[in-house]
Amino acid sequence: MTRARPTRPQDWLATRGWRPFPFQRTVWRAVAEGESGLLHAGTGAGKTHAVWLAALARFADPAAAAPLTVLWLTPMRALASDTERALAEPMAALAPGWTLGLRTGDTGSAERARQARRLPSALITTPESLSLLLARADARAALRSVRMVVVDEWHELLGNKRGVQVQLALARLRQWNPTLLTWGLSATLGDLAHASAVLLGGATGRLVEGRSDRLPQIDTLLPARPERFPWAGHLGLRMLPALITELEAAGSSLVFLNTRSQAERWYQALLEARPDWAGLIALHHGSLDREVRDWVEQGLKQGRLKAVVCTSSLDLGVDFSPVERVLQIGSVKGVARLLQRAGRAGHAPGRRPRITLVPTHSLELIEAAAARQAAKAGQLEARRSPEKPLDVLVQHLVTVALGGGFRPETLLPEIRSTWAYRELADDEWQWALAFVRQGGPSLHAYPEYRRVAPDDAGDWRVPDAQVARRHRMGIGTIVSDAGVTVQFLRGGRLGTVEESFIARLRPGEAFLFAGRLLELVRVHGMVAYVRLAGGARAAVPRWNGGRMPLSTELADAMLAQLEHAAAGQLDSPELRCAAPLLSLQAAWSALPGRDTLLAESLRSREGWHLFLYPFAGRQVHLGLASLLGWRLARQQPVTFSISVNDYGLELLSATAIDWPARLQPALFDDAGLLQDLLAGLNAGELAQRRFREIARISGLVFNGYPGAAKSARQLQASSSLFYEVFRQHDPDNRLLAQAEHEVLWQELEGQRLAETLATLRTRRLVHQALKRPTPFAFPLMVARFRERLGSEKLAERIARMLAELERAAGGEATTDVAASLAFEQPAAVAPPRRRRRP
């Protein structure tokens, strides 16, 4: 007996033995009624089926073929192929006439040619590839049949320029089909109303929240001897034995580290401790070659691997069903990230995700308790769309000019229909038009910057084929410097390291990379040739990546935990474990809280220290420290050394300063915040670095052809040339202003800084004169030394501080930082600088 072919979403689910969740029915109804919306649910909750079955039910005629009807955007290529598999089965059943296709940078030329003739009924693609479709001369004809767009992992795109690119593309598609449905899928997101408004361009839509019964289990791996757990340090290798025990007990696990360099070291340490795990554990981060990473990802999917040591390269929603357990070494920095990472485990039905936090120093014990509390309370970070980034707009203008041309008067309302450009001013619009037309006042003599021009009919187009080609090659908003490729002599590529790292190595010297010990043979162009090396002493590459500050949500939760502790409520294993440290802090000074601002002053051989603990994340502390330093120096000439971390800041003066007398409310004033901040920091330099990205997105700087990528140095040179030229000959260039704006509001988190100042003004100042550095002050001092001293001197220095501390604590060992740092900074952290040749 043959069962009837399913024709409704629930029928299809039934063929799999599944019953629909209520939220899935809600989505089906909404789509059937022609509504757009945002679907928010944890990973593995069934979002894909909710939206896809709804789309098939509404748009597919089982008996007929269909032109391009559904666009499915994903932020990652690896997700695209996963998605293709997930969509194929229901489509075969519910819409046998439909075709499904994939279009990313990986798509081969045969498939591309096929798509050029005829696009599939549903196309899975990335924001960048969608923009490339918009740049086709026949874009309108090819895309006007689209009736629904699904944006997967919208939380990942919303807060950055890639998301703005998506906003612009959606506006374009809506222009061609005003009844277009848009659905966003998101997990781990704070402000859903904003996320929805940005996606729908201000139109209202349906907000659907999925199952929330999958709150992960969150626990902490506690140090065996809390009283000897270090006060500072980030690598945390002393937790290695405990971690190994956990891995032994679990099935497949992911071990997250915050930096690539740390991941390399942990992987190596695991292998040294458990040589029998060779081949069973693997390493995964963003600087490893694609092939290496693909192999690891396949191994995870097939359940071949016991553990993978990784960075946020494995954050996103690829479904690794065999993964049972996630461990996070070091601060997770935010609640959303915690849940995102936890969601990598327990993908199979009936299993609950579990994440174990592994602290690397004592304060992270408190952070772990705070993270669990905040996750339970659902205090997730919001992400906000950038406001009218003109570099993205300029790129989009050229894209649209290529995609059939535009008329300014009809394009402007379309652009303003996006959330990001809803307040685009007329003069900004005119500036952008002039910029694509002739590059602005300083570049009008150069034909390559006359990219777009109105034709006789008044349509703005790209007349030059060379400009068109370069533009297509440069589409996108992700800017990264080319690294030096690390490659075996026989050809196998391992990945990339930074130029500056390789430049300091000599041939014959060894370094640790891609989980192997390598000997540098020679460097040729942008390729470093290596062979496997023996021996033990090796440098570990460091990459210059981003710096994630502790989120406001997590920092606030941490202050709440400290208040618990101050009230004697040691109501979690983490707090009990941190009790020795907390009581020492309370005895020597006080515990920071939400209503007070703790200020500690200390006189040492180094000078006059001030420690403050606003708990606002390291970027804000950096801004705050330079602001305070600048304002103090204006009253009395003095210079400060500054040190910051996610919890607080230190100002150190070599000359006498009466801290209690100087800590006046006026220091925390709002007035003149920006000017003082710009003056206190080297803002010009920061802006110039920021401008590099803007120059590339706006198409000023060409990245070069693939395979012959320009070196970071070359690109840097050309972007700083533009920066200088604009400053001298075109100071009103809006891209310059954008660079400054991004430095202030994104890099330095200006908004959060202003909010922090406002809160600090309401807090009661509690001043403590210290005899010795407290557990909270100590990491700040260590961070400052680390910046100045080599690792050997650093260890000596810390040993001396420790001896002093131990004496102070009455001979009782309070901490073990020196031992931990000596352990954590083996042989050579970085290779010695190469001597300059005469």
Partner DNA sequence: GACCTGCTGCGGCCTG
Shorter beta-carbon distance to DNA: residue 423 or 685: 685
Which is nearer to DNA, 734 or 786 (by Cβ)?
A: 786
CB of 23 to DNA, least distance (A): 27
Provide φ and ψ at 721, rounded to 5°. Answer: -65, -50
Q: In 3D, which of 212, 172, 165 has the Cα closest to residue 192?
A: 212
Measured distance CA(263)–CA(256) in Å, rounded: 8
Q: Closest separation between CB of residue 388 and DNA, Å?
A: 18
CA distance 744 to 752: 11
Minimum separation from the CB atom of position 229 to DNA (A): 17
Q: Please, what's the b/e burial string for 126-144 (b: 16 or more CB within 10 A of its CB; e: otherwise)? A: bbbbbbbbbbbeebeebbe
Label residue 569 exposed, middle or buried (CB < 10 Å: 0-12, 13-18, 19+): exposed
Q: Minimal distance in Å, beta carbon 805 to DNA?
A: 21
CB of 16 to DNA, least distance (A): 29
Which of 478/654 has CB closer to DNA? 478
The angle formed by the CA atoms of residues 142, 144 and 146, to the nearest 5 degrees, is 95
- The CA distance from 776 to 757, in Å, is 21
Q: How far is the CB of 387 from DNA (least distance, A)?
A: 17
Work out how close the CB of 653 gets to DNA at its nearest, in angstroms, rounded to a whole number.
Answer: 20
Shortest CB 743 distance to DNA, Å: 13
Cα distance between the two ends of the chain: 88
HEC profile for 103-164?
Answer: ECCCCCHHHHHHHHHCCCCEEEECHHHHHHHHCCCCHHHHHCCCCEEEECCHHHHHCCHHHH
Strand ranges (E), 7-90: 37-40, 70-73
- The smaller minimum CB distance to DNA, of residues 207 and 473, is found at 473
Least Å distance, CB 70 to DNA, is 17
Instruction: Note the residues at the interface with DNA (CB under 7 A).
Output: 75-78, 103-106, 125-126, 128-129, 132, 160, 162, 234, 258-262, 285-287, 311-313, 315-316, 330, 469, 472-476, 478, 480, 498-500, 542-549, 618, 645-646, 685, 703-707, 709, 712-713, 783, 786-787, 830
Nearer to DNA, 110 or 666 (CB): 110
Helix 683-697 / helix 390-402 crossing angle, nearest 10 deg: 10
Nearer to DNA, 362 or 438 (CB): 362
Residue with tokens 């600088």, as numbered in its chain? 833
Query: Given the complex with DNA, which of 271 and 709 has the nearer CB atom?
Result: 709
Q: How far is the CB of 651 from DNA (least distance, A)?
A: 16
Distance from chain centroid for Cα 811 = 44
Residue that the structure tokens 């059939």 belong to:
404
Q: Are 30 and 208 in contact (CB under 8 A)?
A: yes
CB 216 within 8 A of CB 183: no
Of residues 9 and 127, the one with the C-beta less far from DNA: 127
Comparing CB distances to DNA, the nearer of 94 and 753 is 753
CA 612 to chain centre: 27
Nearer to DNA, 315 or 730 (CB): 315
Q: Which is nearer to DNA, 420 or 663 (CB)?
A: 420
The nearest distance, CB 781 to DNA, in angstroms, is 13
Cα–Cα distance between 695 and 682 in angstroms, integer? 20
